[in-house]
Amino acid sequence: MKRAHRVYLFRRQLGIFALFGFLFNGMLGWLLYQFMALPRNGVIVGADALVMVILTAFFIGPAVMPHAVQKIRRAQLPPVARRSRSRVWVQRLPTDALARTVVVGLAVAAVIVPLSLSLLAVAETTQVSPTQFVIFRAALAAGAAGLMAAVFTWIGLVEAS
């Protein structure tokens, strides 16, 4: 990966979408606490985390990939090398945008959700306070949004090259 790609991926896309995910899902977590009388136990937090991570993919995928393709086509970023190993796994993804978004969303959810829920289990959290729920949801969304932004951006860069 060239330096220009790393700067674009990590400084621009990952940072912007992680901040967006943190603020947006923090606000949603607060609204869920205010207007829904759901118990905030492990099952509800786990289901909320899974749904939130998968839905985040549907916001980030359509926003990030066209921007990355545009950067390559306008020659603002160099194309990805033809012999890049990442081309192999990008070619294995479905070509349909909806199917690709679902696959990436499920893959990120398979990594992030068990990790975050195991952290709650290690902390022996049985009932989550409203503040903990909002912070947990916002931090989880920031991680998921940042990771998805990097993945979708790289897919867009590889496809446009």
Res 23 pLDDT > 80: yes
> What pLDDT score was predicted for residue 6?
66
- Rounded to whole angstroms, the Cα distance separating 138 from 160 reads 32
- Rounded to whole angstroms, the Cα distance separating 105 from 100 reads 8
Full 3-state SS string of 51-74:
HHHHHHHHHHHHHHHHHHHHHHHC
Residue showing tokens 């192999």: 88
Segment holding 86, helix H or strand E: helix 86-92
Residue 38 pLDDT class (50, 70, 90 cuts)? low
**Closest CA relative to residue 106, chosen from 44, 142, 45, 148:** 148
Q: CB atoms < 10 A from the CB of 121, how many? A: 12
Q: Find the length of the chain.
A: 161
Res 100 pLDDT > 70: yes
> What pLDDT score was predicted for residue 32?
75
pLDDT in tens, 63-87: 777 777 777 777 777 776 666 676 7
Residue 124 pLDDT class (50, 70, 90 cuts)? low
Mean pLDDT value of segment 92-105: 83
Average pLDDT, the chain: 77
